[in-house]
Amino acid sequence: MFALNRDVGIPPHLRDVGVRKEDIPALGRRHWMMFVPVATRVKQRLRIL
């Protein structure tokens, strides 16, 4: 994975782009809140089928 990061120019660690350890829980919550509306739409669509 590190070789791929290097090949495409992506920093290997989140800390390299300024993410701190205490930021991780907030990132997870934000990601989950973005996913919930998508999951709800998929669930509603499956119910229709």
Inform me whether the pLDDT recorded for 4 exceeds 80: yes
Contact 36, 46 (CB under 8 A): no
Q: Does residue 13 lie in a domain region? A: no
Structure confidence by residue, pLDDT tens digits, 8-49: 998 888 899 898 988 888 877 766 666 666 666 666 666 655
Domain span at residue 26 reads: 21-49
**Distance in angstroms (rounded) separating the CA atoms of residues 30 and 21:** 15
**Total number of domains in the chain:** 1
Q: Does residue 5 lie in a domain region? A: no
**Residue 5 in 3-state DSSP?**
helix
Amino acid at 12: P
What pLDDT is recorded for position 46?
63
What pLDDT is recorded for position 41?
62
